[in-house]
Structure formats: C-alpha cells, structure tokens
Structure 1
C-alpha cells in the first residue's frame, strides 16, 4: 500500500514538472529562425521586443542641425539648370498698328523729288532781298571767321558732316535693320520714310530759296568780272541764302534718326538708341553753326532751316507711320521702370521733342 502510494506520488510530480516545462519548450520550438516572416499576436510581440532590443543595442543618432537644402543631383528626369544669362536684346519688328508705306506716298515722294530738281531752274533776282537786319548783322560780325582759307575749311567741314548724317540713315536702314536684325521689310520702311522726308525738305527749301532770292552774306567779295569771281559768287547760288539747305537737311536727318530709334530698338533699346538721337542733334547743330561761321548764311537762315528740318524729320514719320503705335521697349520698360522714350508732340507753332531718360 505504501509502495503504491509512493509510486502515485512520483508520477504526479513528474506530470507537474512536465506541465511546467512545456511552455518553454513550445516557445523555443515556435520561435522563427532569423529573417523568417512570422504571424500572430505572439510572434508580433516577440518581433517588437526584438526590435526594442536592437534599438537598445544601437545608439540613437544625434539630430542634424538645420541647414540649406541640398539640390538633388542631376539625373535623366531632372537635367542640370543652365547658368543664368542676361536677357536677349530685343528684336525690331514693324508694329501692326503702323501703316506701311502707301502707294500714295510713293507717288508723292516722286513728285516732291521732281519739284526739288525743278526749283533749280528758278531764275535769281538780284535785288529782291538784300537788306540785312540788326540781328543778322551782329551775329555775322561775332561768328564769321576772318581768314578766307579757314572759312573754306569750315564750309567743307559742314559738307562732310552733312554727308555723314545722311549716310548714317542708310547705315541704320541697310546695315542695322536689314543685315544686323535680318528685317528686310522693316529696313525698306525706314529707307522709304527717310527718302520721303528728305525730298519734302528739299522741295520746301528749293521753293522758298528760289522765290525769296536772298543774297548771301559774302556778297561784298563778289566784285569784278563773273568769270574771275569765286565759285560761290557765280550762278544762282549767290541768291539762295534763305533758308539754309544744309541746316534744314541736317536737322531733317536728325529728326528721322530720333524718330526711328524712339520706336525701333535698332541699337538694342535704352541708352544706345537715345545716344544716337542726341548725337544726331548735336551734329546737326554743328552743321548749322559752320554755315554761319563760314559766311555762307546769316543766322536767321540757319535758325529757320533748323526749325523746318526738325519739324519735317519728326512730323513726317509720326503723322504718317508711327502715330498710335508703341514705343521701342515700352513693355520691357514698364516692367523695369526705366524706359527711355522720345516722342514728338505737335503744337500750333511747331512742336515739342519730349523724352524720358
């Protein structure tokens, strides 16, 4: 009896020990190998504990100080940005609001050219205008060069400067607009406007000079037989003092230069185009002054020629073509706030040249 009770007690102890050791064995058997995917709540808890252990073994990384973001390296989806460059110079273009040279203008230009040549046939009148007013007399005494040779040099210099100014118009049309900007149609419009204004000035000057027949200031040296006189004393040239053709032509060219550069960025817009206008006006003033100091004209001849030429050079392009269009670089200037603009404003007794620099 006692042996049987002892055996039953031993079997119960072994069964209890087996029951207490089973969970550890099952856990060891159910633990997944490293890297194996697990499922279930128990496995998730084990994985979480393992992650916590791994974080405990690996020290936390120190937080990085804030700084400028680094651009992503260039790749096939995002090419590297090109270096910034200055804005491209504006291209010239004929504004659709500007009328192009009309058939009527071609006809009028031809008639004006014929008139200018026809005025050369107006016979001079020796006694029509010989009086000299006090202003012209005083200005002649103050400005006239005394040396004959120096007066001839001043006269030749006025011829040279006038040639430069008229050739500059051709350079702007042919070399700058046509060859430089590749705008043949714009070059044609500029050239035809130039010819139109110059022929109008020539016709006006020829008619007025032929009809008034004012004797030139150097008349005192025109003595003796005509064949022995200076070339300026011979023919009808001696009686074509009013108004100065050199002055009017020079200021017509200057007005045309200012008109074109104010509406077309021939030199890129801004200061270069404004400088072209200022230089043209200065050269025209030099031409007019040289006509007085060389004793070719009275002061009123040169001043009247300057007024007529300026009005012609500014009014013809503006009235017939540029009126109503945008000035050169108007849009870009409005964005920058530093636009350079030159425009002509008509007035009852002439006009005003208004500019912003």
Structure 2
C-alpha cells in the first residue's frame, strides 16, 4: 500500500494569533508561580488512601528512592524530547512538511504551557507538604536538598505526572489524526507506548516518595485532559482521522463530559 500523505486537513484551524498570546501568558504565569511563597501549615494531613498507598508503594532504601526519582526525571525528559522529534525529525525532515511540523510544535508548546501554569498555581496555593517530610529535621542548611526551599510544599498535584500525561495525550492526539509513522499500527503503538511511559513516570513519583498517590492520580487526570482535550477542542475537531481504511489499525479521541475516551482498532 502507498504511504499515506502527511497533510494538514483544511478543516483544522491553524494556530491563531490569539493562541500565540495565550501561550505566552500561560508560560509567564507558569514562571510567576515559582514565586508563590509556601505556607508551611496549610496542608499537612494525610488521608487514609494516601497513607496506605505510601506504606505499600514507597521504596524503603534511600539510595533506591533517589534512583527512582532520577528515573522519573529521565523518562519525562525523553517523553518531551519525543514530541520535538515527531515535529522536527518526523514531520519536517522525514515527510518534508515544515508547515505541519510547525503546527504540531505550537500545539505541543501551548498544551505544555497550560499544564505548567495550572500545576504551578495549584501547587503553590495548596502548599501540600511532601510525603518525605519526616526526614526534614534539623537546621535547613544541613537537610537534604528536597527539604529546602518551597519544593517541600508543592506536592499537590504532581507536575511530573501531569506533564507526562500531557505529553502522552499530545502524542495520541497527533498520531490519531496524522500518519506520522505511516498510519495504522505504528501510530497506534506510539500512543499506547506514550501512555505506558506516562504511567511509569507517575508511579515512580510515588515509589520514590516524592508524591502521594492522589498527587500522581490528579496529575494524570489533568495532564490527560490537557493533552487530549486542548488539541481536539482548538484544532482537530471535525477533521478526518489519519486512516479511514476499514482494515487499518487506528486510534481516535472521543470527548466526554468528564474528559474523553481513546478508541482504537487493531
């Protein structure tokens, strides 16, 4: 079969001037939230679910918790870099579609900026203390780096989890509507793999004792809604899927009142 052509459906709105402005404002907001001062006693209570999940999932070894934390950082970096690779290497260089690559990249930046702004505001204003708070004792200059500064009071919700699921949602959105990997099973598998990687990031944040389970679950929900919902709402709504052949593997996003559903045929 001939390789499907990568093209921007004329029914899909291109990135608007208002979106450039909104993305800039969201990015500025995300950076500004870093200045929100922590409130040490605002949220220290631990509910039964989070307490039980922490007892079961938390790695006991200090060294292994650090390794799990670093692994979540690395995996998240790989996921965000894959978004750039899809736009620059696959769409632009591989398919020779610079205009499509530009739209993909702008949508990615917009969604990630929205996620960062929402996470920064919620984390800064709720000031939930991290699960590892028990080890934060003694003079601050002698404490572990995770205990110092405002980082200790930015547990809810998990920024790693929300960013990872935003990236996964973006991967699924783009690959559901554009045959970046040739259409069919390869594009469907890209979506499935990215969701699995996002789940791994969220889990690593809990086992490394950086977040409570509800922090990671909330981040996953926010990120999924952002990564799937924003591209569909502003761009992909009403257009054609990547493949319309009856025997082809495909994925599609169906909006719902509380989020949406990914539907696939393999």
Using the size of structure 2 for normalisation, the TM-score is 0.99
Counterpart Cα distance in 2 of 1:339 and 1:288:
32
Counterpart Cα distance in 2 of 1:130 and 1:350:
30
Please report how far the alpha carbon of residue 88 of structure 1 lies from its aligned counterpart in structure 2 after TM superposition: 2.3
Which residue of 130, 152, 162 corresponds with 2:76?
162
Which residue of 177, 180, 183 corresponds with 2:91?
177
Alignment correspondent of 1:93 = 7
Counterpart Cα distance in 1 of 2:152 and 2:230:
30
Aligned partner of residue 49 in structure 2, secondary structure? helix
Counterpart Cα distance in 2 of 1:105 and 1:356:
33
Is the Cα contact below 8 Å between 2:205 and 2:211 reproduced in 1?
Answer: yes
Please report how far the alpha carbon of residue 338 of structure 1 lies from its aligned counterpart in structure 2 after TM superposition: 1.4
Pairwise CA RMSD: 0.7
Counterpart Cα distance in 2 of 1:215 and 1:163:
25
Alignment correspondent of 1:340 = 249
Alignment correspondent of 2:223 = 309
Question: 2:104 aligned with 1:190, yes or no?
Answer: yes
Aligned partner of residue 218 in structure 1, secondary structure? helix
Deviation per residue, 1:71-100 (Å, 9 max, x gap):
xxxxxxxxxxxxxxxx22112000000000
Deviation per residue, 1:288-313 (Å, 9 max, x gap):
00000000000000000000000000
Alignment correspondent of 1:254 = 168
Question: 2:103 aligned with 1:153, yes or no?
Answer: no
Aligned partner of residue 45 in structure 2, secondary structure? coil
Counterpart Cα distance in 1 of 2:258 and 2:176:
23
Unaligned runs of 5+ in 2: none
Counterpart Cα distance in 2 of 1:309 and 1:262:
18
Aligned partner of residue 101 in structure 1, secondary structure? coil
Relative contact order, higher structure (CA 8 A, sep 6+): 2
Alignment correspondent of 1:268 = 182
Counterpart Cα distance in 2 of 1:217 and 1:98:
44
Aligned partner of residue 241 in structure 1, secondary structure? coil
Aligned partner of residue 355 in structure 1, secondary structure? strand
Alignment correspondent of 1:287 = 201
